[in-house]
Amino acid sequence: MTLRLGKFLFGAGIATFAAAMTAQSYAAPVTLQWWTNAVSDPLKGIFQKAADDYHAAHPDVTIQVTPIQNEQIGTKITLALQSDTPPDIYFNQGAHLLADQSESGKVADITDAAKSWLPDLGSSPTGWQVAGKQMGIPYTVHVVGFWYRKDLFEKAGIKEAPKTMADLNDAVTKLKAAGIAPIALGGKDRWPDAFYYDLFALRLCDKATIDSQLAAGKLTDKCFTDAGQATIDFVKSNPFQEGFNGTSAQQGPGSSAGLVANGKAAMELQGTWDVGVMASLTDDKDLASKMGWFPFPAIDGGKGDPSAALGGGDGFSCTNGPNLATCVDFLHFLSSKDIQESLIKANSITIPIVAAAAEAISLPVLKDVVDFNGKAAYVQTYFDLALPTAQGQALDAAAADLFAGTGSASSVADATNSAQ
């Protein structure tokens, strides 16, 4: 593309990046349709700024950003990939979900087009490969853990973050005694419920069992039933806010993220994106300094490695069509160190895909998360993405039923095994 080296809003670093890119030319103006799940600032604004800056450097290219609510975008993408007019760029989380989407024939194989710069991103793009082909690029990776309010822990007399389930149960008891809702949960959206089932399984099952059973799509080992019972027992201990099954996860101050952000609950089990979501749901400008983080606790007698993490990532894929070369070039632009640093500084991402960008992390709590991710025995992809889509959806629905007081210890495994 023809580069015009004007000033970038992200600074001279991106201008340098743009100048180093391979020059191409466009025969006619190009418009890219870009679907994201960033419906609130700061991430929404950063993505819009990236689109504007790319256009400033390449006046022939216009990128139209369409933010879609996280709980709706999956369905919209499925329908779009069945149509003749899918977006040029769309949000996805890789793994089996991307493999299923690729069966539409609409998702572009960018292996050759991106081969000159893919090595700069380390190992993170492997989660966006399907049968060895690169079908997308992440802009961040995630792990799931407990975000907590250090001030509320102190008020309840909790001196350190829980390391075992016994510690977590003790913290819940102390928070209740102090009149504080211990854990916020967005049960209305259901997918946060599955984090608990997944992590109980990750602590109770050994890695070989998890790998083989998820690959086979059959959760027949007893440890998966044990995980169901552990989930039921935890729910029965009443650790969540009142009305948690009717609470959304991220939409508004009354969501589970909003409850923690505004000091109405002490902690939430969520992905590393949560601190950025919280920042958009409160007027407390000092929130980030009040937050702590700890991984899901170890379980006595569990066969799983307590340093294993549950996670995944967020990224984008291109669709086939006349704008593919432009799309791939824009994905390269999004993966630049400067944009990665801007995402970090805005608390929009915690774990960057460009290692050098981690130097921009200043908050100790975010450094703790990155350190845990780097030292984790392994990072297990969310079960609903590691499984074929139908089975993943069945698992999520059955896990949510446990929080609604229905189902049994084996119902999550049973639902997964019977899904087609």
pLDDT tens column, 253-303:
999 999 999 999 999 999 998 988 898 899 998 998 999 999 999 999 999
Q: Which two tokens stand for residue 210?
A: 């998890």
pLDDT tens digit sequence for 184-195: 999 999 999 999
What is the distance between the alpha carbons of residues 402 and 412, in angstroms, rounded to a whole number? 8
pLDDT tens digit sequence for 159-198: 999 999 999 999 999 999 999 999 999 999 999 999 999 9
Report, at the CATH architecture level, how domain 12-140+312-364 is classified: 3-Layer(aba) Sandwich (3.40)
- CA-nearest of 314, 301, 304 to 377 is 304
Domain definitions of the chain by residue range: 12-140+312-364, 143-310+375-418
Class of domain 143-310+375-418: alpha beta
SS3 content of the chain, % helix, strand, coil (to 5): 45, 15, 35
What is the distance between the alpha carbons of residues 35 and 18, in angstroms, rounded to a whole number? 23
> Residue 381: which region, alpha, beta or left (left: phi > 0; alpha: psi -120 to 50)?
beta
Q: Are 394 and 419 in contact (CB under 8 A)?
A: yes
CA atoms within 13 A on the CB side of 28: 4
The domains spanning 12-140+312-364 and 143-310+375-418 adopt the same CATH topology: yes
pLDDT value of residue 79: 96
Kindly tell me if the per-residue pLDDT of 372 is higher than 50: yes
Q: What is the pTM of this model?
A: 0.82
What is the distance between the alpha carbons of residues 290 and 260, in angstroms, rounded to a whole number? 11
